[in-house]
Amino acid sequence: MAKTVLVTGATGMVGCDVTKQLSRKGPAVRAGVRDRVKARKRFGDEIDLVPFDFEDVGSFGGALDGVGKVFLLPPLIPSQVELTNAFVDAAKRAGVRHVVKLSAIGADAAPPFTVGKWHAANEQHIRESGLGFTFLRPNSFMQNFITYFPPRDGAIYLPWGNGTASFVDTRDVASVAADVLTSDGHEGKIYTLTGPVALGIADVTRILAGATGRDINYVDVPEADARNGMLQAGIPTWQVDALLELHAINKQSCWSAVTSDVEKVTGKPPIDFAQFARDHVENFRSG
């Protein structure tokens, strides 16, 4: 029986850790990548690489050859639903047994936000495919404060009001994925992945200020200003709209509940924001 695990999104935040953790745990790992040079920088020569692009159906067959399990990280682009579903169909044809899909919190029956709707449509397609599946639905990543909204001029500008969320560290998301891909009992399960506590942005800036020893403040900006700022930064309009939907949901503290799913799967409590801040302090020393 095919034992190889194919990791998609392997050069990204979550997929990189999934790949490294799997390679330590023992199964044959194959990273499906668009950019070999970037992948070699991430993994050295340790990991088997295969050309893979969701936008190139012709790359699916080679990537899936001999694969038993897949870590599926859908590309965050407007054609996500069609491309990801086509890949799921190819996985089924190739004899894959289990798909562990990175989804998103709130991607249940009728998500009130665009990216949630895309993930829900992919989840539905996987259910209907008959493939074994596990859905991982993480809350907002702590790492978004590095990638999407880092401090600028000593402040984090977000239209969150006093909203809170139980941010999760991507390393925990990756640990859950790696454990699910290498142990039994996870088929048909849905894990909602959160950190250990709900935080507002004022809490986040206080923790980052403590870790760096510099002033970092929260500026609660009107939605229109957030929109203009993102557009001026060159973020495409569809993505700005999608991000503003998420900000509006978080302003209402809709995703502040804490779950025990990280610990249930990994046996370890989730990383807290103070630990995240310490581990990434160099990212917050300026800006």
Residue 47: how many CB atoms within 10 A of its CB? 20
DSSP 111: -
Under the binding rule (CB under 6 A), the answer on residue 281 touching ligand NAP is: no
Q: Which is nearer to ligand NAP, 12 or 154 (CB)?
A: 12
| Strand ranges (E), the chain | 4-7, 29-33, 48-51, 67-72, 98-102, 132-138, 155-158, 164-165, 189-193, 199-200, 217-220
Closest CB to ligand NAP among 213 and 234? 234
141 neighbors 13 (Cβ within 8 angstroms): yes
Q: Does 199 bind ligand NAP (CB under 6 A)?
A: no
Task: Select 138 or 196, whichever has its Cβ closest to ligand NAP.
Answer: 138
- The tokens for 45 are 């020569």
Comparing CB distances to ligand NAP, the nearer of 194 and 212 is 194
Q: Does 52 bind ligand NAP (CB under 6 A)?
A: yes
10-39 residues near ligand NAP, rule: CB under 6 A = 10-15, 34-35, 38
284 within 8 A of 211, measured Cβ to Cβ: yes
- The least distance separating ligand NAP from the CB of residue 54, rounded to whole angstroms, comes to 4
**What is the nearest approach in angstroms of ligand NAP to the Cβ of residue 151?**
17
Separation between Cα atoms, residue 245 and residue 231, nearest integer Å: 15
- Please identify, using beta-carbon distances, which residue of 108 and 214 lies nearer to ligand NAP: 108
Whichever of 4 and 80 has its CB closer to ligand NAP, that residue is 80
CA distance 13 to 283: 15
Angle at 267 between CA 182 and CA 120, to 5 degrees: 65
Residue with the CB atom nearest ligand NAP in the bound state: 12
Residues 125-184 interacting with ligand NAP (rule: CB under 6 A): 138, 140-141, 144
Residues 55-74 that bind ligand NAP (CB under 6 A): 55, 73-74
- Check binding of 273 to ligand NAP (CB under 6 A): no
Distances (CA, A) of 97 to 91, 114, 137: 8, 29, 20
Nearest approach, Cβ of residue 42 and ligand NAP (Å): 9
Smallest distance, ligand NAP to C-beta of residue 215, A: 26
Nearer to ligand NAP, 75 or 229 (CB): 75
Q: Which stretch binds ligand NAP (CB under 6 A): 49-57, 156-164, 264-272, 277-285?
A: 49-57
Q: Cα–chain-centroid distance for residue 31?
A: 16
Residues 72-91 as x/- pattern, contact with ligand NAP by CB under 6 A? -xxxx---------------
Q: Compute how many residues bind ligand NAP; rule: CB under 6 A.
A: 25
CB within 8 Å of 173: residues ≥ 6 apart? 14, 102, 136, 138, 141, 193
Measured from the CB atom, the residue of 129 and 239 that comes closer to ligand NAP is: 239
Contact 109, 82 (CB under 8 A): no
Q: Where are the beta strands (DSSP E) in 113-216?
A: 132-138, 155-158, 164-165, 189-193, 199-200
Residues that bind ligand NAP (CB under 6 A): 9-15, 34-35, 38, 52-55, 73-76, 102, 104, 115, 138, 140-141, 144
